[in-house]
Amino acid sequence: MDVNQKQAVIALNQLIEVDMDSEQACMVGARDVSNAELRDILTSTAETCRASAKELQSMVSAMGGEPSEHGSMNGMLARGWMAFRHMLSPSDDAVLGLCEREEQAAQREYQSVLMKALPPEATATVRRQYDALRQHHDRLHAMRGMQIH
């Protein structure tokens, strides 16, 4: 594996961890909210994140790399904070805010990776996944505008 492939594998593994973090955050959020529409959005987002991670794992394997199999430590801490905050103040708004921040962090990571030199197929995949991530974030943001309780 050449240097460019190694850098691509590292970048894609970062996104795999981000996707796994987002999936878990959305699943925790979906479990904790009472609003059915928000629960559906969070569940759908989690499914998209899971599919994105699997797609990137396959790509990393095809490049000869070892795909990441878990989320990040920061993601685990964020989910713990989400659960703690929800325990103190159980509201859909709190869960929504935390999930929205998780999605914003994922978008920043995707933007960072898109600025790196990746193989064309990887760039196209990351771009497509980033666009889907933005759509999910926009849906979460719209729910905040509805001031659900």
Select 3-145's CATH number: 1.20.120.1780, 2.170.190.11, 1.20.1260.10, 3.40.50.300.
1.20.1260.10
pTM for the model: 0.83
Q: What is the pLDDT of residues 102-129, one digit of tens each?
A: 888 899 999 999 999 899 999 999 999 9
Question: In this predicted model, what pLDDT tens digit does every residue of 18-77 receive, in sequence order?
Answer: 999 888 888 888 888 888 988 998 899 999 999 999 999 999 999 999 999 865 556 555
- Least-confidence region, from 5-9, 77-81, 115-119: 77-81
Q: Which residue has the tokens 């759908």?
A: 44
HEC letters along the chain: CCHHHHHHHHHHHHHHHHHHHHHHHHHHHHHHCCCHHHHHHHHHHHHHHHHHHHHHHHHHHHCCCCCCCCCCHHHHHHHHHHHHHHHHCCCHHHHHHHHHHHHHHHHHHHHHHHCCCCCHHHHHHHHHHHHHHHHHHHHHHHHHHCCCC
Q: What is the pLDDT of residues 133-149, one digit of tens each?
A: 999 888 887 877 665 44
